[in-house]
Amino acid sequence: MSMIEFHHISFVYNKKDPNRYDAINDINFNIEENDFVALVGKTGSGKSTLVQTLNGLLLPSKGYTKVKDFIVTGDKEVIKKLVKEKKYKKKELKNFSKLRKEVGMVFQFPEYQLFSETVLKDVMFGPKNFGFSEKEAEERAKECLTKVGLDESYYSRSPFELSGGEKRRVAIAGIIASNPSFLVLDEPTVGLDPNGRKEILNLVKKIHEEGTTIIIVTHDMETVMNYANKVIVLKDSKYLGMMKPSELFNKDDIESFSLEVPPFYKFKRLFKEKGYKKDIKEANDLTSLIDVISSNKENNK
């Protein structure tokens, strides 16, 4: 059984209004445990809306999102059906605090969520809300701060006097401190310098290797290429498919998704266009590409 299931979900903003806007439309797919999934698509394709249904911040107007055994839906018929079948109680379908412990959510510019006097207190805030004891929360907080690369000297500092990258790391520590099984990141690297970006992404990778399922919303195809093991493409509120990043970038009609192709694949395409005959489709990183090309040279000799 899949860990996250989207069952034909749709979401409409401002339903009875001239501003009505269908953010996502009949989206239906599953995400497996321990995946590192990247969610791509151009601005306004519904990526953020989709991930916000994962912890009940938004309730799908139609269909339902299932995370482990939790159901998120605002669809009255689905609720009626589930209650009738006695699988869920109505109250359970409206209380998301347990679900929110399972699904950590890192928004764009997560540093805006900081509010406590000290870094340590801020990181402890999440776990304490989810029922960890004071002591446990402190342990978790210290552990996570170490994980994000902030040492003891930071504990008693005010989060507002830190640099942008540090703030962001504190914010991420505050989310992983509640020990979620899923981590959803909505463009976590916006506004960071290349080094800061790399640090955050390597941190995410580390978290993933420790057994957390990662869902990352991004515009940065380098991230998709280097970190994700699956990529989901959304276009105009619709689901276009889930594939391996290399499959996506090797597609000939990738322009129709309005995605920016990473330089490596541009290079490969150019290579083909200039008349290179040998099949380089399987070579998805620099070393294997060089191997393929050099082996070809030997053959020519």
Partner 1 sequence: MRSDILGKYTPYNSIVHRLDPRFKFFALILLMVIVFLPFGNYTNRFIVLGILSLIIGIIMIVGKVSFKSFFRSLSSLWLMFIFLLIFMFFIPTKGEYPIYSFNENYTLYWDNLLQVLHIIIRLVLMIALTIILTSTTLPMDITYALDWYLTPLKVVKFPTQVVSLTISLALRFIPTLLNEANRIMNAQKSRGVDYNRGFFVAKIKSITTLIIPLLVSCFSRSDELAIAMEARGYDPYKTRSRYKSLHFTYKDLLALLFIILVAGLVITFSILSSTIGGFDDVINFIWGIKTI
- Residues that bind partner 1 in the complex, under the rule CB under 8 A: 13-19, 52, 55, 57, 97, 100-101, 103-105, 107-108, 110, 112-115, 125-126, 129-130, 160, 174-175, 178
Nearer CB in complex with partner 1: 30/113: 113
Q: In this complex, which beta carbon is closest to partner 1, that of residue 81 or of residue 89?
A: 89
User: Can you read off the two tokens belonging to residue 3?
Assistant: 């860990």
| DSSP per-residue codes, 68-91 | TTEEE---HHHHHHHHHTTSS-TT
Q: To which residue do tokens 């519904």 refer?
A: 46
Q: Least Å distance between CB 186 and partner 1?
A: 10
Share of the chain residues as helix, strand and coil, in percent rounded to the nearest 5: 45, 20, 35
Nearest to partner 1 of 175, 228 (CB atom): 175
Q: Is the separation of the CB atoms in 66 and 82 below 8 Å?
A: no
Nearer to partner 1, 150 or 176 (CB): 176
Select 117 or 285, whichever has its Cβ closest to partner 1.
117
Shortest Å distance, C-beta 34 to partner 1: 21
In what side-by-side order are the strands of the sheet with 238-243?
A: 103-106, 182-186, 213-217, 36-40, 230-235, 238-243
Least Å distance, CB 26 to partner 1, is: 21
Minimum distance from residue 164 beta carbon to partner 1 (Å) = 11
Helix (H) or strand (E) holding 268: helix 263-273
Neighbours of 27 (CB within 10 A): 23
Provide the minimum distance between the beta carbon of 247 and partner 1 in the complex, in angstroms, as a whole number.
32
